[in-house]
Structures are given as structure tokens and as C-alpha cells.
Structure 1
């Protein structure tokens, strides 16, 4: 691989969009697992204006043009809803900058794809939830995302990553990784492998409900970690849902579940000390309350009753994905130490076990908000 290409491509991308003014600076930004992100600064009329510039990962997102078609379609729809409600569409959803020839992406001389959008200032994201009010605001935001897009025709969106939350397919990938064991790691993680295999029923649970017509297909975010909501510094309220790469047809309960597995955990996603890892029922209830309020009555009763199952399935699926990547040589998620993906998998499995021990409580919390 020519390691000079990303640097050269970045230089081209800094000038690739129809941004008025003079280029000032471009520096790495954030800590995302998949795309490379930069803070791009231009000077316009004596003032500096900031943008987010991203190099889109073609290994993961094999059709960047279709991906951007999804994003522009959804953000355009959201802008109309936001304006109709008297909101600010430049701050409450991502506002993309196009190229001079009208495209929402720039293709550099090496065939790599880039995009840029206006930087939203005076906000913060939650890398780890510590405050139930913040988690409630995150839930409201993702619930409103569901509510505003309830009328968007989900079937018209491209599937940017095929079978992304098809947990049964993920299980098949996991079994293949175990069988091939290309890094010779399987022997040392038999407990984790058996944990996954013993819960095969979880891999099929939500797919069966969808196949039976019991829960509907919706426009979903599919990566609803709390750090994908920007919180307004001035008001402390959820402002904008970001990271829209995986917006595609899906299940509302998956969006709910991914939020719980990330945000209701009492420890970081890669915590090594598993004694610190549990699912906080206080945070779980705060999210249930906020998500249902944000959805504004657009979910069916079966979807609402399936929310606890969504939490358990998504936590199980994510742990399985981390373990699969560890077995396969860490080719998907960025790692910062040799057993990083294994540590991530173990935290997810600890959360699944904790949810199993609190299952009746999780169901009762959901029922409480149905009965209100």
C-alpha cells in the first residue's frame, strides 16, 4: 500500500468543495472507529469558519455514492420537518457542503471519497454517559429522529452495509471465523466462543418478529451510541443526530438497543475490569422514557414491548462482532492494543449476562411507560 496516498488525497480534499474564502488549516478530529475525520478551517471576510471533513472508508462502505444519496435524502427530509417545527436546520441536522459541480462528495485523484459539512459549535457529545439527564436527552433525540422519519419511505434507501443488523448472518460470520481461526486465537477464548453459541436464539429473535410481520421496517440510524448525539452546551438539550453512514432500512428496537448497550453500561466499551461493567437500570429507565417521548406515539405496541429484547440482542450482536473481528485479525474496528477487540467483546457479554439477571425489571420498566 502506498502510504503517501491518504496525505496527498487529504491535500486535494481540502480544496475539493465549494467553500468560499481562504484555506487556513486541517487537523485530525475526533476518535471514530471507521472514517478518518478532520477539522477544516477557512477564513471568510476576516472570520474563521470550521467544517468537518471526512475520508469515507471504502473498505466498509463499498458504495460511497449510494451512501451519500441516503444521507442527503434523509437530511433534506429532516430539514423540512425541522423548519416546519420552527427549528434551526443548520444546527439540528447535518448541513453538507457540495462540490463545485453539485456533488455531495469529492473523489480525489486516488479514487478515494470525501465529504464535508458545517461544524456545529457550542455542543458536546457523550463518550460515556454519567448523567441520567444527558442520557434522557440522547433518547429524546433518537426518538425524535424516528418520529420525524416515520413517513419517509424506508424501502427507497440503499442498504449501505448489507445485513448490518441481521444478527443471524452475523452469527454465521462468527462461526466461520471460529472455524478458520486464521490467527490461532480460538483456543484461548473458548469461554467467549461458547457464550455466543449458547445464545443462538438471540441471533434469530428480531428477524423472526420482522418476518412474521410483528414489527415494521423503518428508517433507522443503526449506530445509536450516545456520542452520536450532539448536546447543546447552553441548554443541555439534545440538538443533532450525527454519523449517518448507516442510515438505512431497519428496526426501531435495534436503534433503541444499541443506545442501551453503549450508554446504560456503567463502564467504558473497552473496560478490562469486568467487575465495573453492568447495565444501570436508572439509565435504562431514563432512556426508555426519553425514547418513547421522542417517538411521539409512532411506535406500535409490539415494538415498545420488544425494546428490552432489542437491548439484549444488540449487545449480544455487538459483542459477537468484536469477537469475530478479533478472531479474524482485527480488520474492521480500529484497535489501540493487541487484545482491544477481545476486551470490547467481553464487556458486551458481561452486559448481556447482567441484562439476563435483570430481565423482569427491564420488562416492567417498559410496561410502566405503556400504562401511563
Structure 2
């Protein structure tokens, strides 16, 4: 944790007015260190969100920031003339020398955003309306960025959703059995091996490349305090080239199952069809007509692929001895894997219904 004096000095390096008043940790994210910093300027208050970027995960922070600047500038231009644009797009705060980010004396990368008032995030879905609004915001996000001019965005995490490579890494983890855990999880390994074709289900489909968010959880959309509307997509670190189905699949993975990601009771893990209905309707509403017919058809496959991908990532890490994902107990990664596989089974069981709904909404 950075000390307060250093934090104040870093905050003052950005274009903010007034006298420093307070700084406190903000949000529930696990990647970056995030603070809400408040300044007093005469009779008004100004707040910024200040973040220390995690360069262990995002090894090229300059590329990440270039992506964010291009995406937010384009979104703002597409929404020009509409009401409340300042609350609908993240706005980077420049440093006092005009840069988009700050590097401190210890080579730590920092960025700042204008604080968006009267809106908040939620970590779990409490109603179909919430799921609809978040999915609609992500659909609109993709639609507004469909005409982002060249050049192609940087890949902030190369091969992030290359499921074939993820499956190969899983197979290597099984072969290595570094932690001596394979024998106890033969059922989970067999489950994954039986679905190997999922690894190429999207990559081999000839789908158009889009600008995608790649982390479409509920808590990456700000919902308006008064109306509940999804007003702003946040956490743009993983915005990069991808497939529309990636974002939709991750919405299904994170918004349609009420159970925790590391749930120990498999009977509690299932896809809630009402929540799926809300996510599908919301995403299609926000996306409008820009999706091609093959892209729409690919959405259900996207749900299966992304859940499968996350499951094999958890299982591979468990077999390797929990070297990537943080764990607070010995079997946590295995429970995470089992939750994803149980959710995938639930999706498979309801796939016909899902396709019927998709065709009805086409």
C-alpha cells in the first residue's frame, strides 16, 4: 500500500483543481490499486479515480493506455450531441505535462479518470433487470466501436481467448502433473477431454473480428442510481480485437449463475434461464443491427466456449500447483473448475431452449 504523501504527490501530477482533501481505496477490483481522491476547489468538489496499474499482468501498460485513449475518444465522438455524455464514457485525466499516464520514481504506472457521480457497480446480479441493463451496455459498447478506424488495437494480453492454446496448456499440465494431483481428478480431466472440439468452435467459424471488452462482468458496468440504467462500461484494460461471442459468453458465465465462482455445493450451480433471457435480450438490444447472422448464431456457442475455457484454466492451474490464480484454501481452484464444468453441463442441457429464444429474437 502506497503512503498518503506519495499518493497526494502523484494525484497532483494530474490536471485537477483545488486543494487535496482525501484519498481512500475504492472498488472491489483485484488487479490494480485504486483510490478515490477528492479535491476542494472554492465552493465545488472534484473527484478522480486514481489507479496504480498492475504491470505484472499487463506487461505493456503503454499499449493498454493507447487502446483506452483511442476507444474512449471514439465512444465520445459517437455519442456527441447526446445527453449526459460525460457520464456515459470514461474520461481520462491528463497529467500536467499533457500525457495520458504518469510514471513515478519507482517506475510504477498511474492513470486517472474523472469520477462518474450518481452511479455504482454491483458484484452480483439481483434481478433480470440488472442483467438486461448490463448486457445492453456491453452490446452498445460493441456497436459504437464497430467502426473504430485503423490501426488495429493492441492485444493487451495476447491470445487471451485463444481457446485452442488454452486447451494445449491444459494438456501440458495434465502430462506434467507437477503437483501430483492428476490421479484424484480423473473425472474432471475426462470431462474436459470429451469436449476438446469446443476449443475450435469459435476460432474456426470465420467470424468477423470486433472490438471487444473481454471482461464482461456485471461490476464492469456503472448502473444509474435513480433509473438503474447501464450508463457506462468501465475497466477497459482488456479492450482489444476479439469476437462478439467472447463478450456474450462471459456475460452468460458471470451473470446467469447465482452460485459463487468457487461454490463447494455443485447442486447450487446452474444457469438460470430467466437471467439468460435477460442477458440475451439486453445484448441484442444494445448491439442493434451491426451483428451479422453468423455472429448471432455463434452467441450460444460463445457461452459454452467461454465457460469451458475458464474451467480448463482453473483445472490446469490446480494441476500445476496453484501458480497463477490466488487461492485462500487448498482445493479452491478445483472447486472453481467444478463450478465451471457444472455450469457448462447446465448450458448444454438447456441449449435447445436457448437456441429457440435466439431464433425468436432474430
TM-score, with length taken from structure 1: 0.91
**More moved, 182-191 vs 63-72:** 182-191
Residue 142 of structure 1 pairs with residue 142 of structure 2: no
Q: Report if aligned partners of 1:141, 1:239 keep a CA contact under 8 Å in 2.
A: yes
Q: Using a 3 Å threshold, how does the CA distance of structure 1 residues 157 and 118 change in structure 2: closer, same or farther?
A: same
Q: Using a 3 Å threshold, how does the CA distance of structure 1 residues 337 and 88 change in structure 2: closer, same or farther?
A: farther
Q: Partner residue of 1:109?
A: 105
Distance, in Å, in 2 between the alignment partners of 1:81 and 1:291 is 19
Runs of 4+ in 1 over 6 A off after TM superposition: 4-9
Q: Partner residue of 1:223?
A: 215
Q: Partner residue of 1:191?
A: 187
Give the C-alpha shift of residue 18 in structure 1.
2.3
Residue 301 of structure 1 pairs with residue 298 of structure 2: no
Distance, in Å, in 2 between the alignment partners of 1:289 and 1:209 is 23
Q: Report if aligned partners of 1:34, 1:333 keep a CA contact under 8 Å in 2.
A: no
Distance, in Å, in 2 between the alignment partners of 1:245 and 1:168 is 23
Q: Partner residue of 1:200?
A: 196
Distance, in Å, in 2 between the alignment partners of 1:154 and 1:265 is 37
Say how many residue pairs are matched: 362
Summarize the alignment of residues 1-372 of structure 1 with structure 2, pairs less than 5 Å apart. Answer: 10=7, 12-84=9-81, 86-153=82-149, 156-210=152-206, 215-370=207-362
Give the C-alpha shift of residue 9 in structure 1.
6.5
Give the C-alpha shift of residue 331 in structure 1.
4.3
**More moved, 355-364 vs 33-42:** 33-42
Distance, in Å, in 1 between the alignment partners of 2:78 and 2:201 is 33
Q: Report if aligned partners of 1:82, 1:88 keep a CA contact under 8 Å in 2.
A: no
* Cα-to-partner distance string for 1:119-174 (whole Å, 9 max, x where unaligned): 21221223111211111111111111111111114752000000001101111222
Distance, in Å, in 2 between the alignment partners of 1:194 and 1:154 is 43
**SS of structure 2 residue aligned to 1:342:** helix
Distance, in Å, in 2 between the alignment partners of 1:230 and 1:69 is 22
User: RMSD of the TM alignment (CA)?
Assistant: 2.0
Distance, in Å, in 2 between the alignment partners of 1:14 and 1:306 is 44
Distance, in Å, in 1 between the alignment partners of 2:150 and 2:165 is 21
**More moved, 59-68 vs 337-346:** 337-346
Distance, in Å, in 2 between the alignment partners of 1:61 and 1:369 is 38
Q: Report if aligned partners of 2:16, 2:46 keep a CA contact under 8 Å in 1.
A: no
Q: Using a 3 Å threshold, how does the CA distance of structure 1 residues 8 and 186 change in structure 2: closer, same or farther?
A: farther
Distance, in Å, in 2 between the alignment partners of 1:125 and 1:5 is 25
Q: Report if aligned partners of 1:231, 1:239 keep a CA contact under 8 Å in 2.
A: yes
Give the C-alpha shift of residue 5 in structure 1.
7.3
TM-score, with length taken from structure 2: 0.94
